[in-house]
């Protein structure tokens, strides 16, 4: 269903502003790539650099100026609380910070707009490949202006599965058990290091299915729109339609999703870790 979104103070559409913000953030990250100096730890394997906070502030400055009446939520400044009513911009200045800080050119910038808790548009930009994934409810999903679709494959044994290791140790181990359980009933598996790009690749049919134990709203806000607008299905680990606070996710086409759910039935990875709304 198409949502008529407000235009910005300068007369741009919300999707245009989101793309502008992502492009500017991408320029900042490309210029600083390979020169990270200050790294701090939010948890084991979960790091933050000086560029995370600098880029988020730059994104907020533009979004706040263009849409002064909308709330702003980011990974580095909000504590994860997304208001349940009204318009909210949700951003991730660097999805794949470990890759970025390690000189691995696979990371992205996420900007998504949420209305009353439901993501209505999403942008995910890979600055190193200059690839812009965008989607708006009722408008389709696109990569650099070309419409994208989820995979058309119909069996897991023909498929490439994408995943990422969770910051939760048990979740990571259980995710690897999913791979070893299905193997060799797949072509191969890929650990991305950027969950936002992992979901975007599933939306574009580059990988046939992507799954993750647990993500934050800013990790998946764009992907939730991208996958569905690309004709796919994205659910939590119980099979319920995924949202900003879902208990894990699986993104694919309906046929592969069904087979994945069948083959992972009873595995520890499928057990819920928290109650969802």
Rounded to an integer, the average pLDDT of 225-245 is 97
C-alpha to C-alpha distance for 140 and 148, rounded to whole angstroms: 8
Same domain for 64 and 171, yes or no, is: no
Model confidence over 117-173: pLDDT tens digits?
999 999 999 999 999 999 999 999 999 999 999 999 999 999 999 999 987 888 899
Residues 21 and 143 reside in one and the same domain: yes
265 and 234 belong to one structural domain: yes
The domain boundary residue, chosen from 147, 168, 189: 147
Q: What is the pLDDT of residue 106?
A: 97
Q: How many domains does the chain have?
A: 2
Q: Model-level pTM? A: 0.93
Q: What is the pLDDT of residue 141?
A: 98
Task: State mean pLDDT over 16-38.
Answer: 90
Residue 81 has phi, psi (to 5 degrees) of -90, 115
Same domain assignment for residues 178 and 141:
no
Q: How many CB atoms lie within 10 A of CB 91?
A: 29
For 83, the token pair is 């208001």
The last residue of a domain, from among 147, 164, 199: 147
265/211 same-domain check: yes
Distance between CA 17 and CA 41 in Å, rounded?
A: 31
pLDDT at position 204 over 80? yes
Residues 78 and 171 in one domain: no
Please check whether residue 277 lies inside any domain of the structure.
Answer: no
Among 20-34, 44-58, 217-231, the range scoring the smallest mean pLDDT is 44-58
80 and 194 co-located in one domain: no
47 has a pLDDT exceeding 50: no
CA–centroid distance for 219 within its chain = 4
Confidence (pLDDT) at 79: 60
Segment 237-243 shows an average pLDDT of: 96
For residues 132 and 23, state if they share a domain: yes
Element (H, E) at 136: strand 131-136
Residues in a beta bridge with 133:
124, 143
CA distances to 232, 251, 269, 276 from 170, rounded to whole Å, are: 28, 21, 9, 19
Same domain, 163 and 129: no
Q: Is 208 exposed, middle or buried (0-12, 13-18, 19+ CB in 10 A)?
A: buried
Task: List, edge to edge, every strand of the sheet that includes 71-74.
Answer: 71-74, 87-95, 108-115, 118-126, 131-136, 140-143, 146-147
Pairing assessment for the beta strands 131-136 and 46-49 based on DSSP bridges: unpaired
Would the pLDDT of 116 be above 80?
yes
Render pLDDT for 174-201 as a digit per residue (tens, 0 to 9): 999 999 999 999 999 999 999 999 999 9
The reply to whether 275 falls in a domain is: no
Q: Which residue has the tokens 């965008």?
A: 134
Q: Is residue 223 part of a domain?
A: yes
Q: Which residues make Cβ contacts (< 8 Å) with residue 15, sequence separation at least 6?
A: 5, 121, 123, 134, 136
pLDDT above 50: residue 275: no
Query: Is 36 in the same domain as 137?
Result: yes
Do 193 and 79 share a structural domain? no
Write the CATH number for 142.
Answer: 3.30.540.10
Residue that finishes a domain, picked among 94, 118, 147: 147
Q: Quote the pLDDT of residue 4.
A: 84
**Would you give the end-to-end CA distance of the chain in angstroms?**
22
CATH number at residue 206: 3.40.190.80
Domain-located, residue 276: no
Q: What is the pLDDT of residue 81?
A: 78
Please say if the pLDDT value at position 277 is more than 50: no
Q: Same structural domain for residues 108 and 222?
A: no
Spatial neighbors of 277 by CB under 8 A, at least 6 apart, are 243, 245
Does residue 9 fall inside a structural domain?
Answer: no
What's CA 259's distance to the chain center, in Å?
Answer: 23
Q: Is residue 92 part of a domain?
A: yes
- Residue 136: inside a domain: yes
- Full residue range of the structural domain in which residue 97 is found: 14-147
pLDDT reading at 49 higher than 90:
no
What is the structure's pLDDT at 91?
Answer: 97
Residues 96 and 102: beta-carbon distance below 8 Å: no
Report the mean per-residue pLDDT for the chain: 92
The answer to whether residue 87 scores a pLDDT higher than 60 is: yes
**Is 130 part of a structural domain of the chain?**
yes
H or E stretch covering 249: strand 249-252
């Amino acid at each position: 269903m198409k949502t008529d979104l407000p235009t910005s103070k300068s007369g741009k559409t919300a999707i245009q502003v989101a793309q502008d913000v992502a492009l500017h953030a991408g320029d900042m990250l490309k210029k600083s790539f390979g020169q990270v100096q200050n790294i701090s730890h939010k948890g084991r394997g979960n790091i933050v650099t000086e560029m995370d906070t600098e880029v988020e502030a730059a994104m907020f400055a533009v979004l706040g100026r263009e849409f002064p009446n909308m709330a702003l939520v980011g990974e580095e400044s909000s504590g994860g609380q997304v208001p349940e009513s009204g318009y909210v911009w949700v951003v991730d200045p660097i999805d794949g910070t470990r890759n970025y800080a390690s000189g691995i050119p696979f990371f992205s910038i996420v900007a998504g707009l949420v209305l009353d808790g439901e993501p209505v548009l999403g942008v995910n930009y890979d600055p190193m490949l200059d690839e812009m994934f965008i989607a708006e409810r009722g408008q389709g999903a696109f990569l650099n202006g070309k419409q994208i679709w989820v995979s058309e494959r119909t069996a897991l044994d023909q498929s490439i599965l994408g995943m990422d290791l969770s910051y939760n140790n048990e979740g990571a181990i259980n995710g690897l058990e999913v791979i070893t359980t299905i193997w060799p009933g797949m072509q191969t598996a890929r650990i991305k290091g950027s969950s936002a790009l992992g979901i975007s690749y599933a939306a574009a049919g580059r990988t046939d299915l992507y799954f993750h134990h647990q993500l934050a709203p800013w990790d998946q806000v764009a992907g939730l729109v991208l996958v569905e607008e690309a004709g796919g299905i994205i659910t939590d680990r119980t099979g319920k339609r995924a949202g900003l606070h879902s208990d894990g996710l699986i993104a694919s086409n309906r046929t592969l999703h069904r087979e994945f759910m069948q083959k992972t039935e009873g595995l520890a990875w499928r057990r819920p870790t928290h109650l969802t709304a």
